[in-house]
Amino acid sequence: MDLLKKRILEEGRVVGEEVLKVDSFLNHQIDPELFQEIGKEFYNRFKDKNITKLLTIEASGIAIAVVAGLYFKVPVVFAKKSKSRNLDTDTYKSEVYSFTKQTTYDIEVSKRYIKPEDHILILDDFLANGKAAQGLIDIVNQAGATLEGIGIVIEKGFQKGGQQLRDQKIHLESLAIVDRFTNGQVTFLKG
């Protein structure tokens, strides 16, 4: 997606060997008009699947999924990261290791909101080691629902999450795949 790659090149800041900061438009400050184009692009890539629900994870995934939901016209469910007093006790749970925060956390989705008849598209902002995606897949499987695919805004192609999902024959669409950081400069894989 050229518009997205352009923004990454213009505004992305590479920190160290592995961190790409895109908080001016993606995950701290958000550009709603760019998100509209992202939502439309996910819709175009998955519109032939019979998606009944979008699934994401708090926090940054929510903005992407809700705008995509305007095109898919289906409900969005976001997995919660910490136990909330207001969440149903009857939940699907999975465990996710965060390399960024170097800690393991639980994610939860109320059983009310994913049913065996659902066809799920998982959406998220980043894919690196794929731990969050695997946790969400685990929840889809626990619910007995059908996983139709995964849509990612920025995949770090030099980390193993994307390859593992493709090896599992999951339909993965990443709008920008970062190949490497060379002297603080981002280069993309085609795709």
Which residues are near a second copy by CB under 8 A?
15, 19, 21, 23-25, 27-33, 35-36, 58-60, 62-63, 65-67, 69-70, 72-78, 80, 84-88, 100-101, 109-110, 112-113
- The strand pairing partners of 94, in sequence order, are 107
Residue 84: partners with Cβ closer than 8 Å, 6 or more residues away: none
- CB under 8 Å to 15, separation ≥6 — which residues? 21
The single-letter code of the amino acid at 87 is L
Pick between residue 138 and residue 170 the one whose CB is nearest to a second copy.
138
What is the rounded distance in angstroms from the CA atom of residue 14 to the CA atom of residue 19?
6
Least distance between a second copy and beta carbon 168 (Å)? 26
CB of 121 to a second copy, least distance (A): 13
- CA pair distance 87, 80, nearest whole angstrom: 9
Q: Which is nearer to a second copy, 75 or 191 (CB)?
A: 75
What are the φ/ψ torsions at residue 143 (nearest 5 degrees)?
A: -75, -10
CB of 142 to a second copy, least distance (A): 16
Name the minimum Å distance from CB 165 to a second copy.
Answer: 22
Could you tell me if 118 and 52 are in contact, meaning their C-beta atoms sit under 8 angstroms apart?
yes
Using DSSP, state whether 165 is helix, strand or coil. Answer: helix
| Least spacing, CB of residue 1 vs a second copy, in Å | 18
For residues 60 and 134, which CB has a smaller minimum distance to a second copy in the complex? 60
Task: CB nearer to a second copy: give 57 or 165.
Answer: 57
The nearer residue to a second copy, 29 or 163, going by C-beta atoms, is: 29
Contacts of 168 (CB under 8 A, 6+ apart): none
